[in-house]
Amino acid sequence: MAAHIVTSFDEDLGQINQLIHDMGDLAQLMVTDATRALFDNDAALAQRVVSEDAIMDARQRELDERAITIIALRQPMAQDLRIVVGAIRMAAELERIGDLAKNIAKRVNAVSEGATPKSLSHSIDVMAKLVMNQISEAVSAYEARDEKRLETLRLDDQEIDVQYTSIFRELLTYMMEDPRNITACTHLLFCAKNLERIGDHVTNIAENAYYISTGRQLPLNRPKSDETTVQDPA
Amino acid sequence: MAAHIVTSFDEDLGQINQLIHDMGDLAQLMVTDATRALFDNDAALAQRVVSEDAIMDARQRELDERAITIIALRQPMAQDLRIVVGAIRMAAELERIGDLAKNIAKRVNAVSEGATPKSLSHSIDVMAKLVMNQISEAVSAYEARDEKRLETLRLDDQEIDVQYTSIFRELLTYMMEDPRNITACTHLLFCAKNLERIGDHVTNIAENAYYISTGRQLPLNRPKSDETTVQDPA
């Protein structure tokens, strides 16, 4: 009987982990699609991101309900409980990544009205690729319960922040050069900011996964993000 | 013995609810301080918001740890379990409101370099007041378990979104008029966007509180926010 309960709990956890895995894949896909829609001015692809976000929301609700049912019926303790509570948090982070990707997709129309300079699309593309790698690495390091990789992830977020700061400066110069660029550049600025925020959510996922594996929180002070508020750009 | 356990659980919940209440007060204070710092160009006040955010983070961790302990030791069921899991989510939303207020505070320096036109400060101030009322109403409707007020809150978020869209348009015109305004206006744009996002987090709090009271989720489709991505502003 005890063995039966244990097995069922493992099965429950397996389903939760599968949902996290799927949500991670979906988050990456949404970032890829949203960025492509932005540069190819592809309204249909942008629309697909919006419907992917509905799937993401549904997955999160499903995970939440499963997790709460597990807590209620199986009353897990110690690490098992951490995994279940951690999964709820992780799903919330992934859902927000989906929201941010959707927000990028919704700007496709507004951005298309201006001409995006090549060097700028390149910079944003580099940033998007960094972000996608981070999402995939976060989910995979969580699945491997690899504490070292989780700590590294948090540090790698700085690379995204540096890239964001440089895009911010670049966008300001385009706006100053020609006021007709202002509307499109403002929307691109929010797109870049969304990518930077996705990086922050990945950091949260890493911190949370670290807590699940070790029962300890990573220290509060993490390297901070978004230099544009501190060093005022030209 | 049973009575003893019940009482202790109520005490535990009381502490959790007190933490939510304190975090709500702190969130309002942070928004007030950040907005005042922005308009009075008050670097010391901005610095206070940064330290308030550290308190907010510590409160969230305290609540998380208490909630997990309650789940592990008391194994609450049904509504009690919803309250505890709901409190974890609510604290996460309040913590993010704190982050957004801190982000406004960190832009004080960058904004002070340009001159903010009076009408613009007025619009942002109106938006900040709407947001502060929403935060206080959300926590109070949660405490009263008032489903009607929670539903209304979600609708009221539209008012904040309308205000944001108008500020967005206003800021673009200032940028187009004089390129020297661009840097400051860009930071103000992020400040306004942060207020709009705080409104979204209040909506999440209302949805979550509704779930705690009723066990049902509010329908998925809520009136959507940030019109600037759809109707492209002039």
Closest Cβ opposite residue B229 in set A106, A175, A233: A106
Confidence bin at A233 (pLDDT 50/70/90):
very low
Closest CA to A71 of B11, B91, B87, B72: B72
Which chain B residue's Cα is nearest to A184?
B232
Closest Cβ opposite residue A68 in set B61, B81, B234: B81
Which residues from A are below 8 Å from B61, CB to CB?
A: 217
| pLDDT computed for residue B227 by the predictor | 60
Confidence bin at B17 (pLDDT 50/70/90):
very high
- CB contact under 8 Å between A183 and B75, yes or no, is no
Average pLDDT over residues A150-179: 91
The answer to whether the CB of B108 falls within 8 A of the CB of B42 is yes
| pLDDT computed for residue A107 by the predictor | 94
| pLDDT computed for residue B74 by the predictor | 82
Closest Cβ opposite residue B172 in set A113, A183, A229: A183
The answer to whether the CB of B57 falls within 8 A of the CB of A222 is no
The answer to whether the CB of A31 falls within 8 A of the CB of A131 is yes
Q: How many residues does chain A have?
A: 234
- CB contact under 8 Å between B110 and A228, yes or no, is yes
Q: Hey, what are A212's tokens?
A: 């699940």
Q: Hey, what are A58's tokens?
A: 């549904």
Q: Work out the minimum CA distance from A109 to partner chain B, whole angstroms.
A: 8
Give the three-class secondary structure for A124.
helix
Closest Cβ opposite residue A217 in set B61, B109, B220: B61
Closest Cβ opposite residue A68 in set B85, B176, B187: B85
Mutation test of the interface with chain B: which of A71, A230, A231, choosing the one with the most B Cβ atoms within 10 A? A71
The answer to whether the CB of A87 falls within 8 A of the CB of A12 is no
Tell me the one-letter amino acid at A41: N
The answer to whether the CB of A147 falls within 8 A of the CB of A210 is yes
Confidence bin at A85 (pLDDT 50/70/90):
confident
Residue A122 has pLDDT above 60, yes or no: yes
B84/A113: higher pLDDT: B84
| pLDDT computed for residue A191 by the predictor | 96
How many beta-carbon pairs under 8 angstroms link A with B? 91
Confidence bin at A227 (pLDDT 50/70/90):
low
Q: Hey, what are B225's tokens?
A: 């926010």
- CB contact under 8 Å between A71 and B71, yes or no, is yes
* Crossing angle for the helix pair A182-214 and A147-177, to the nearest 10 degrees: 170
Query: E strand or H helix at A218, and its extent?
Result: none
Q: Work out the minimum CA distance from A43 to partner chain B, whole angstroms.
A: 12
ipTM value, please give it: 0.79
Distance between CA atoms of residues A229 and A234, nearest Å? 12
| pLDDT computed for residue B148 by the predictor | 92
- CB contact under 8 Å between B103 and A229, yes or no, is yes
Q: Work out the minimum CA distance from A36 to partner chain B, whole angstroms.
A: 17
Q: Hey, what are B94's tokens?
A: 């309040």
- CB contact under 8 Å between A176 and B172, yes or no, is no
Q: Work out the minimum CA distance from A204 to partner chain B, whole angstroms.
A: 11
Distance between CA atoms of residues B143 and B76, nearest Å? 19
Distance between CA atoms of residues A4 and A190, nearest Å? 51
CA distances for B34 relative to B8, B31, B90, B101, angstroms: 39, 5, 22, 6
Which residues from A are below 8 Å from B57, CB to CB?
A: 220
| pLDDT computed for residue A77 by the predictor | 79
Q: Which of A4-8, A21-25, A58-62, B93-97 comes out lowest in average pLDDT?
A: A4-8
| pLDDT computed for residue B231 by the predictor | 42
Q: Hey, what are A202's tokens?
A: 């990945």
Q: How many CB atoms lie within 10 A of CB B119?
A: 10
What is chain B's Cα-based Rg?
20
Q: What residues of A are in the B interface, CB distance below 8 Å?
A: 54, 57, 61, 68, 71-72, 75, 77-78, 81-82, 85, 88-89, 92, 103, 106-107, 109-110, 113, 172, 175-176, 179, 182-183, 186-187, 189-190, 193, 217, 220, 226, 228-230, 232-234
Q: Hey, what are B192's tokens?
A: 């306004």
Query: E strand or H helix at B108, and its extent?
Result: helix B108-112
- CB contact under 8 Å between A232 and B57, yes or no, is no
Mean pLDDT of chain A: 87
pLDDT tens-digit map of B21-52: 999 999 999 999 999 999 899 999 999 999 99
| pLDDT computed for residue B229 by the predictor | 63
Average pLDDT over residues A27-35: 96
Which chain A residue's Cα is nearest to B179?
A176
Query: E strand or H helix at A93, and its extent?
Result: helix A78-106
pLDDT tens-digit map of A204-221: 999 989 988 888 877 755
| pLDDT computed for residue B133 by the predictor | 94
Residue A114 has pLDDT above 70, yes or no: no
Q: Hey, what are B109's tokens?
A: 């320096």
Q: Hey, what are B155's tokens?
A: 């609708």
Residue B117 has pLDDT above 90, yes or no: no
Tell me the one-letter amino acid at A64: D
Distance between CA atoms of residues A30 and A12, nearest Å? 27
Which chain B residue's Cα is nearest to A170?
B183
| pLDDT computed for residue B76 by the predictor | 82
Mean pLDDT of chain B: 87
Closest Cβ opposite residue B172 in set A72, A82, A186: A186
Distance between CA atoms of residues A34 and B150, nearest Å? 33
Closest CA to A234 of B157, B186, B137, B139: B186
Closest Cβ opposite residue B229 in set A75, A107, A175: A107
pLDDT tens-digit map of A38-61: 989 999 999 999 999 999 999 998
| pLDDT computed for residue B110 by the predictor | 87
Give the three-class secondary structure for B221.
coil
Question: What are the DSSP E strand ranges found in chain B?
Answer: none
Q: Hey, what are B100's tokens?
A: 């957004």
Which chain B residue's Cα is nearest to A232?
B110
Counting residues of chain B whose pLDDT is more than 90, the rounded percentage is 58
| pLDDT computed for residue B101 by the predictor | 97
Domains of chain B and CATH, by start: 2-229 (1.20.58.220)
Q: Work out the minimum CA distance from B195 to partner chain A, whole angstroms.
A: 15
